[in-house]
Amino acid sequence: QVQLVESGGGSVQAGGSLRLSCVASGYTYNTKRVGWFRQAPGKEREGVACIVTFNGDTYYADSVKGRFTISQDIAKKTAYLEMNSLKPEDTAMYYCAAGNVCGGYRLRSISDWGQGTQVTVSS
């Protein structure tokens, strides 16, 4: 069974940093791409970043370019989202997902989702 478990969320002040983790299990890690998404209350879920796990290619939404970095530790079957220079508008529930294709920063053909981890950025 496939599982994706996020952790690392929390509350920080604007300008601060957080590192989110997504631990994958139940499949061969680099056979699927991993994407990060976020959803704020009352808003649509939006893609944030995507990584092609077998070669490390990465893609970012314009709103986070230069501030967020998606990375991975293949041995640990873990994808990360390092978030720097956080802004209040980054406040959202953050989810990781596994899928077949990084269509740019949007993960496509999603097969599995994690449960989410809350990120709150105060001014």
Structure tokens at 107: 């993960």
Measured distance between the N- and C-terminal CA atoms of the chain, rounded to whole angstroms: 41
Give the residue carrying structure tokens 């077998």: 54
Q: What is the mean pLDDT of the chain?
A: 97
pLDDT value, residue 57: 97
Q: In terms of DSSP H, where are the helices of 1-123? A: none
pLDDT of res. 33: 97
- Residues 87-105: what's their mean pLDDT? 96
Give the 3-state secondary structure of residue 77: coil
Distance CA 73, CA 61 (A): 22
Token reading at 104: 């740019």
Percent of the chain with pLDDT over 70: 100
* Per-residue model confidence (pLDDT) at position 116: 97
The pLDDT, as a whole number, for residue 60 is: 98
